[in-house]
Amino acid sequence: MTGQQLINVPDVRTAVPGPKSISILEDQKKYETSTIAYTDSFPFAVKSAKGSVITDVDDNTFIDWMTGISVLNLGYDEGIIQAVKDQMEKSWHSLEIPTEARIRFLKKFSESFPSEMKNYRTMFGISGADAVETAVNIAHSVGGSRNSTITFEGAYHGVSGGIVSATAGTKYRRTSYSQGFSVVRVPYPYPLWYDRDVSHILSDLRKIMVDHESGYEVPDSLLVEPIQGEGGYIVPPDGFLRAIREFCDQYDLSMIVDEVQSGMGRTGKMWAFEHEGIIPDIVCASKSVGGGIPISAIYYRDDYDRKLPKPFHMGTYRANPLGLAAGAYVLETVPRYLPRVEKDGKKLVSAFKEIESELILDVRGKGFMIGVELGKKGEPLSSERMMKIKHSLLNHGLMMHTCGHFGNVFRYMGALNIPDELNNKGMGIFRNALRTEGANEK
Ligand SMILES: Cc1ncc(COP(=O)(O)O)c(C=O)c1O
């Protein structure tokens, strides 16, 4: 969108939902499962989307600080439309039989990793959960007789199949009954709420490996998010991933890094683990890796590959050519924005910190993965008040979502190419919403 077109964005002329949205939402309620939840937070129907602007069916426009939960790292981008259109003209399903788009994606995906990983292999999946689950399966297949995985409190790795065992929140696990994996869970560093620092966590980890009376299955792998996503945009202290890498080396564990949310440039590096200069054994990618078309990819060591049976992973829809074409474009384009994301991410963190509001407990983040945690010491802001703020943001034209152990973290996940103007306007809307809600307390 041009600067001229952005002058009137956001523009919310009706109550949200407006009359046309209400009618569509009513139809949705009639036919679709009553268990969907996003429409509680964002009650409108989408007419169209361009760049970082979403227009609803009542012609209200919203600034998108949500990017479909970090799926649209380049927003609704013209280049993605073109890549998908071009591929659509050729073919849109081909199982594992190669297309030019597949090879282009494979080369670019491989080039996006540090040179030490250039011999790694790519295995495709469909979703984030599928990728992480398959990564754990790879680790178990090469891990000898051990077959459990270390995972962290507050982790989110998906809810399908077996990987739900590695996800921490009971709300996610209580309706998933196929809990296939054995996991050992340890705290993630979260100093705002818990005093287990990295040295405590390492000592817990060592105990698991050496104390065979601990009651845990001995793990063959460790699964970690470089920055916790759904857990609350929690940035661990510098050196955490390096310490985890050393621990994995010492006990011969496969280190699996889940970059489903933090990857593809979101933190100002292509992959968030690069901030720590470590080399993982297995990396899981999804969300933005297909530019919004569902694909996922696992990047893993070549020597692991030689130990896997053939076939290994199945799934009719893996590596959809449309996703691969879009993904190749995203992989090619994202590096251009990395310096901007690193620089502007810092400015955004400062701007969030400068907001004078007693509701703000903590601001943290890297690049465009920023969390603003609300509440008082020892008392997270209630879910009712979080929802009230979310709706107030929406009514003023800003889509912003929440996450966190206690659901009290607003997260900034703007597109890496979002115009400055929309960041500035969004910040103004967020500031005002916090001031208004803060004033309600007095
Ligand atoms: C870090 C991480 N891993 C895995 C997943 C699961 O991805 P999907 O929802 O595509 O299954 C998510 C989803 O938010 C995630 O944030």
Contact 254, 188 (CB under 8 A): no
User: For residue 88, how far is its CA from the centre of ligand 1 (angstroms)?
Assistant: 27
Summarize the confidence of residues 166-177 as an average pLDDT: 67
- CB within 8 Å of 268: residues ≥ 6 apart: 338, 339, 341, 342, 345, 366, 367, 368
The Cα–Cα gap between 94 and 371 comes to 40
Summarize the confidence of residues 399-424 as an average pLDDT: 98
- At residue 180, does pLDDT exceed 70? no
Rg (CA), the chain: 22
Which pLDDT value is given to residue 164? 66
Per-residue pLDDT band at 39 (split at 50, 70, 90): very high
User: For residue 436, how far is its CA from the centre of ligand 1 (angstroms)?
Assistant: 33
Summarize the confidence of residues 133-150 as an average pLDDT: 89
Summarize the confidence of residues 306-329 as an average pLDDT: 93
Tell me the domains of the chain and their CATH numbers: 3-77+337-441 (3.90.1150.10), 78-333 (3.40.640.10)
Token code pair at residue 177: 């009954």
Summarize the confidence of residues 184-196 as an average pLDDT: 93
Name residue 348's beta-bridge partners: none
pTM of the model: 0.96
Per-residue pLDDT tens digits for 104-114? 999 999 999 99
User: For residue 158, how far is its CA from the centre of ligand 1 (angstroms)?
Assistant: 5
Mean pLDDT of the chain: 94
| Higher-confidence position of 182 and 381 | 381
Which pLDDT value is given to residue 97? 96
Amino acid at 282: I
Q: Is 395 exposed, middle or buried (0-12, 13-18, 19+ CB in 10 A)?
A: middle
Counting residues of the chain whose pLDDT is more than 90, the rounded percentage is 85
User: For residue 430, how far is its CA from the centre of ligand 1 (angstroms)?
Assistant: 26
Sign of CA dihedral 116, 103, 275, 197: negative
- At residue 442, does pLDDT exceed 70? no
| Higher-confidence position of 193 and 214 | 193
| Higher-confidence position of 102 and 439 | 102
CA angle 106–110–114, rounded 5-degree value? 170
Which residues are near ligand 1 (CB < 6 Å)?
69, 127-129, 132, 156-158, 225, 229-230, 258, 260-261, 286
* Residue whose CB lies within 8 A of the most ligand 1 atoms, among 72, 261, 318, for a mutation test: 261
Per-residue pLDDT band at 344 (split at 50, 70, 90): very high
Summarize the confidence of residues 300-304 as an average pLDDT: 98
Q: If you take atom 3 of ligand 1, which residue's CA is the nearest one? A: 157
Which pLDDT value is given to residue 213? 82
Which pLDDT value is given to residue 318? 95
Q: Residues 97-105: contacts with CB within 8 Å, 24+ apart?
A: 99/321, 99/324, 101/321, 101/324, 101/325, 101/328, 102/319, 102/321, 102/324, 104/324, 104/325, 104/328, 105/324, 105/325, 105/327, 105/328, 105/331
- CB within 8 Å of 49: residues ≥ 6 apart: 55, 64, 76
- At residue 176, does pLDDT exceed 60? no
Q: Which residue has the tokens 């390096």?
A: 242
Per-residue pLDDT tens digits for 348-372? 999 999 999 999 999 999 999 999 9
Which pLDDT value is given to residue 178? 55
Respond yes or no on whether the N-terminal peptide bond of residue 237 is cis (omega within 30° of 0): no
Which pLDDT value is given to residue 439? 76
Summarize the confidence of residues 99-120 as an average pLDDT: 98
Summarize the confidence of residues 203-226 as an average pLDDT: 91
- At residue 321, does pLDDT exceed 80? yes
Summarize the confidence of residues 250-276 as an average pLDDT: 98
Q: Residues for the chain: how many in total?
A: 442
Of ligand 1's atoms, which has the minimum distance to the CA of residue 296? 10
Write the DSSP assignment of 70-101 as a string of letters: HT-TT-B-HHHHHHHHHHHHH-S--TTS--HH
* Residue whose CB lies within 8 A of the most ligand 1 atoms, among 130, 282, 283, 286, for a mutation test: 286
Return left, alpha or beta for 407; rule: phi > 0 is left, psi -120 to 50 is alpha, else beta: left
The Cα–Cα gap between 435 and 382 comes to 17
